[in-house]
Structure 1
Amino acid sequence: MKFTDLNLPEQVLKGIADTGFTDCTPIQEKALPPALLGKDVAGQAQTGTGKTAAFLISLFTRLLNQEKAGTEHHPRALILAPTRELVVQIEKDAQALGKYTGFNIQAIYGGVDYMKQKNALKEGVDIVIGTPGRLIDYLKQKVYSLKNIEALVIDEADRMFDMGFIADLRFILRRLPPFDARQNLMFSATLNQRVMELAYEFMNVPEKVAVTPEQMTAERVEQVLYHVARKEKFPLLLGLLRKKGMDRTMIFVNTKREAEYLYDRLNANEFPARVISGDVEQRKRMRILEDFKNGKLPIMIATDVASRGLHIDGVSHVINYDLPQDAEDYVHRIGRTARAGAEGKAISLADEDGAFHIEDIHEYIKEKIPVEWAEDELFVHDYKRTKPRPKPESKPAAKPKGRNHGKSGGKAPARTVEKPVETVAVEGEAVKKKRRRRPKRKKPAGEGGQEPNAEG
């Protein structure tokens, strides 16, 4: 099916033409016809198959064909996503596809531009794309209203549950117009029981569409698994990077500490890399992503904060330096390559710990990852070593617990913490406090001209 076969407004068709799309992807071919008729849709398809374009085209068409209700400039459509990176990506796609629609589109997410986003909402926007947290913040301040919402989109709904956003999501949904007074669209890589319960609660008899649910991974991703000892993982990684011609590579790890370890060693061995993790400040994250998208940065190391929602053209390879502990994350990680019909390769390194997760991954993706055995010449052992970063200091416990600590033992840490603060910061006050306490307990008063206390 071609987009020109659908009954789309001219403004939307021009935006689609500018992006270079001509034929519908399978999920678009199934989801667009009912959505364009105004029906609620719950769509399932693996990552990178065009879900974002499907709900944006439906949303633009509805808003263009339906006259705006009321005179107040409150948002007409709301798109909810679980991560900041996904919000930014959706806004970018929306600006491209909606270039000729005349709609004012605003992204709302934490970490940047608090007052700028707040002022934009006050001035009035047509379409809001945001994460639940900051949207609720502005909503409680009455910066904007949800009473005029004509269309709702929930993207990656399963991730909303995984990240603990379901309470925030329900808070927002309960402040929208009745479910039968708006169109509701839900798209995700997985539509499990929890997600469908949410759909039946807040959607108007949604039509469920799915594309190849029996195949969890994208077709054009070539997968390979190497079994390797922990101490040999980095030498093998260097060999792969040197000999495979990986122009734009994403390397996934499970922890921030592992990401820092790889960052130090790769840069020391002349492989420029940067790290994306939950602890990286938002503005810095966006700069790193922009450099990676523009080709200035060849390697990006990431935790699972970057495993969903990022559409980066030309990612040639995804490397699972650590196999994910959650099988579903494997699908989302390797989905960063081979997007929109392109080809890519996903390489996984299974060490002694990672091997325990292979069976769960095979069961989830309903296929076995082909195994290759690395030749000896693929390992690089003449690399530069780096000193490990010192472990962060552990915070002292506020109060010791245990059967050996009675009431008096519980007070000791408070005295230990307070004494140096008083002595160093305001030493004079500390001395005065001691002098004030003494008359009450031991010394007869007589200092400062006071009458002595009678004793006995």
Structure 2
Amino acid sequence: MTFTDLGVEADIADALAAKGITEPFPIQQQTIPLALTGQDIIGQAKTGTGKTFGFGLPLIQKLGATPGPGVKALIVVPTRELCVQVTEDIELAASNRPTTVVSIYGGKAYEGQIDQLKAGAQIVVGTPGRLLDLAGQRLLNLADVEVMVLDEADKMLDLGFLSDIEKLFAQTKPTRHTMLFSATMPGPIVALARRFMNRPIHIRATDPDEGLTQANIKHIVYRAHALDKDEVIGRILQAEGRGKTVVFTRTKRAAAKLVEELNDRGYSAGAVHGDMTQEARERSMAAFKAGKKDILIATDVAARGIDVNDVTHVINHTVPDDHDAYLHRVGRTGRAGKTGIAVTFVDWADMHKWALINRALDMGQPEPVETYSSSPHLYADLNIPEGSKGRLKATPIPKVEKEASRPPRERTRRRSGGSGGGSASDNTRDARGGDRAEGASSASDANRASTATAGSGEPSAAPRKRRRRRRGGSGSATGAAPAASSGE
């Protein structure tokens, strides 16, 4: 079956064929014919199975071959990375038409996005926050939207965007064509669909005999020690047949640290996490897609925006929070019908979390195998050549500082101010230190001052008399007279 057989117009099908996309996936086969009739759809399919074209092709065709200026279609996505990815897919499918697409998301300057809207862009792909921001400034008009799509709706629920989605729906006309797509379908999302959709048809493009995990992904789970993980990852990266690899970490700090460690080991790694600027995140993602870097370290912020067909391995540096997060992480590999490998490290403290994921996905691996970088089964499971180590190059030895390389006697002479006696500042400190001696009196201070004048090398001025603090009104520790007899 081809896209033309599904009712897609020839110029759109030709644009896909020019990129080698000729055969529709199951979710596309089931949703495209219905969507072309204007039927509201809830599409549910596993990640990486082609949902974007499932709603994108009918949307482009609905606007016509020569759409007029102004926003006619709105696609709402939860993350910036997914926004960029969906925009690229829609632009590809519409490349033979004058239809224009604009990405609206935070972290970038307003000016470029506003200019594209004023130029008459017909399709808007955006994240809820920036969309509402521009709509509030009356720079984005949603009154003429004919088609509205929610992509990865369950992630929007996780990120707390549900109220924002309701506000966006309220700015569109009730007669719009609405489609909702996601890999999972929690109850609140179904309730949202019932409120804003007109008799939607729920389509599940899955094999009844297939589990929740994709059959074309090999799942390997290890109980690993935190101090050995970097070495284990380094050896996995030398597996035969390894292509692009995504490593997911729990925190931004862990991602930054792992990038530095892998680059130090000789690998080519980039990162995508929340502490990076949007421009830096986009550069890192572009380098990964272009093959300039073959390893991407990411937090869950990018788990739904990495749509690269040649990712062969996904490594979970730590256990995801739940089974949905696990599915979206490992779904970065095995895309477009290809095979992939997912490796998950389970810390001793996270065994209970893994037990819940294992039970929910029915993976049959309740007790992960205890694994170290030297474990023989690590090499066998992942096809790692014998003798491989986790480092491609030696760590450079830091240069020795010049001061540290000097002989000890010379360093001492430099710090003391020369080979002769102490410096003036040192002598001054010594003289002042004499002021603080217990039991010192003004007479002894005067005697020392006269001795210094006679040629001892000490400063000639008499040190300043200091008042002594006594506790409880008693005398000094050396038996001096009480404060009343001292004249204080």
Aligned ranges 1:126-165 → 2 under 5 Å: 126-165=122-161
- Count, aligned residues: 380
Matched residue of 1:149: which SS?
coil
Distance 2:126 2:140 in 1: 13
Paired AA for residue 215 in structure 2: E
Which position in structure 2 is the counterpart of 1:410?
A: none
Contact 2:72 2:122 in 1 (8 A): yes
Tell me the amino acid that sits aligned with residue 209 of structure 1: I
Confirm or deny that 1:350 pairs with 2:346. Answer: yes
Deviation larger for 282-291 or 324-333:
324-333
Residue 204 of structure 2 is aligned to residue 205 of structure 1: no
Give the CA deviation at 1:176: 0.4
The alpha carbon displacement at 1:380 in A equals 4.9
After TM superposition, the score normalised by the length of structure 2 is: 0.74
Report matched runs for 1:243-392 at 5 Å. Answer: 243-369=239-365, 374=371, 376=375, 380=389
Q: What residue is the counterpart of 1:53 in the other structure?
A: 53
Mapping of residues 68-79 of structure 1, within 5 Å:
73-79=69-75
Separation in 1, partners of 2:156, 2:238: 38
Q: Tell me: CA distance 1:376–1:195, structure 2 relative to 1, closer, same or farther (3 Å).
A: same
1:42 paired to 2:42: yes
Q: Deviation at 1:354?
A: 2.9
Distance in 1, Cα, partners of 2:390 & 2:56: 50
Greater relative contact order structure (CA < 8 Å, 6+ sep): 1
| Secondary structure, counterpart of 1:323 in structure 2 | coil
User: Whole-Å Cα distance in 2 between the matches of residues 274 and 258 of structure 1?
Assistant: 13
Considering only CA atoms, is the larger Rg found in Structure 1 or Structure 2? 2
Q: CA-atom RMSD, angstroms?
A: 2.2
Match of 1:228 in 2: 224
Structure 1 stretch displaced more, 159-168 or 257-266: 257-266
2:233 alignment partner AA: L
Contact 1:327 1:357 in 2 (8 A): no
Assess if the C-alpha contact under 8 Å between 1:293 and 1:313 holds in 2: no
Q: Tell me whether 102-111 or 356-365 shows the greater mean CA deviation.
A: 356-365
Tell me, what secondary structure is at the counterpart of 1:224? strand
CA–CA separation in structure 1 for the residues paired with 2:6 and 2:241: 41
Per the TM alignment, residue 366 of structure 1 is displaced from its structure 2 partner at its CA by 2.8
Moved over 6 A (4+): 381-386
> Deviations for 1:287-342, whole angstroms, at most 9, x for unmatched residues?
00011111110211111011113211211110011111222111001110111111
Aligned counterparts of 1:185 and 1:172: Cα–Cα separation in 2: 14
**What is the alpha-carbon distance in structure 2 between the residues aligned to residue 22 and residue 242 of structure 1?**
34
**Is contact 1:362-1:368 (8 Å) kept?**
yes
State the alpha-carbon separation in 1 of the partners of residues 362 and 19 from structure 2.
34
Give the share of equivalent positions with the same residue, in percent: 37
| C-alpha distance after superposition, 1:358-416 (max 9, x if no partner) | 22212232333595665536595889789xxxxxxxxxxxxxxxxxxxxxxxxxxxxxx
List alignment gaps of at least 5 residues for structure 1: 387-456
TM-score normalized by the length of structure 1: 0.79
* Native 8 Å contact 1:328 1:364 kept in 2: no
Match of 1:107, as an amino acid?
S
Provide the rounded CA distance (Å) in 2 between the counterparts of 1:257 and 1:326: 21
Residue 313 of structure 2 contacts residue 333 of structure 2 at CA under 8 Å; is this kept in 1? yes
Q: Is the 8 A contact 2:15 2:96 kept in 1?
A: yes
* SS of match in other structure, 1:242: coil
Q: What is the alpha-carbon distance in structure 1 between the residues aligned to residue 247 and residue 241 of structure 2?
A: 15
Q: Which amino acid aligns with 2:126?
A: G
Stretches of structure 2 lacking an aligned partner (at least 5 in a row): 380-387, 397-488
